[in-house]
Homo-oligomer: A and B are copies of this chain.
Amino acid sequence: MDRWRVDPGTKLDLDKIDPGSTARAPGNKAKAEKATSELQDQIATLQERLWAERQQSLLVVLQAIDAGGKDGTVKHVFGHVNPQGCEVTSFKAPNEDELAHDFLWRVHSRTPAAGHIGIFNRSHYEDVLIARVHEVVPKAVWRRRYTDIKAFERTLSTAGTTVVKFFLHISKDEQARRFRARLDDPTKCWKFNVDDLKERALWDDYQRAFEDAITATTTKECPWYVVPADHKWYRNWVISSVLV
Residues of A within 8 A of B (CB): 54, 97, 99-105, 108-109, 111, 113-115, 141, 144, 147-148, 151-152, 154-156, 158-159, 161
Contact = CB atoms under 8 A, between A and B. Distances in A.
How many subunits of this chain does the assembly comprise?
Answer: 2
Contacts of A99: 114
Given A148-B151, A154-B148, A159 B103 contact: yes
A102 B56 CA distance: 11
A144 to B, nearest CB: 6
A135 B151 CA distance: 25
A238 B152 CA distance: 33
Contact of A161 (B102, B103, B152, B159): B102
Contacts of A147: 151
A159 B141 CA distance: 9
28 contacts: A54-B100, A97-B113, A99-B114, A100-B113, A101-B111, A101-B113, A101-B114, A101-B159, A102-B111, A102-B158, A102-B159, A102-B161, A103-B159, A104-B108, A105-B108, A105-B111, A108-B109, A109-B109, A141-B158, A144-B158, A147-B151, A148-B151, A148-B154, A148-B155, A148-B158, A151-B151, A151-B152, A152-B152
Contacts of A141: 158
A102 B144 contact: no
A204 to B, nearest CB: 29
What 3 pairs across the A-B complex have the smallest Cβ distances?
A151-B151, A102-B159, A100-B113
Given A102-B155, A144-B158, 19 more contacts: A97-B113, A99-B114, A100-B113, A100-B114, A100-B115, A101-B111, A102-B156, A102-B158, A102-B161, A103-B159, A104-B108, A105-B111, A108-B109, A109-B109, A148-B151, A148-B154, A148-B155, A151-B151, A151-B152
Nearest to A112: B101
Contacts of A101: 111, 113-114, 159
Nearest to A155: B148
A113 B115 CA distance: 30
Nearest to A113: B100
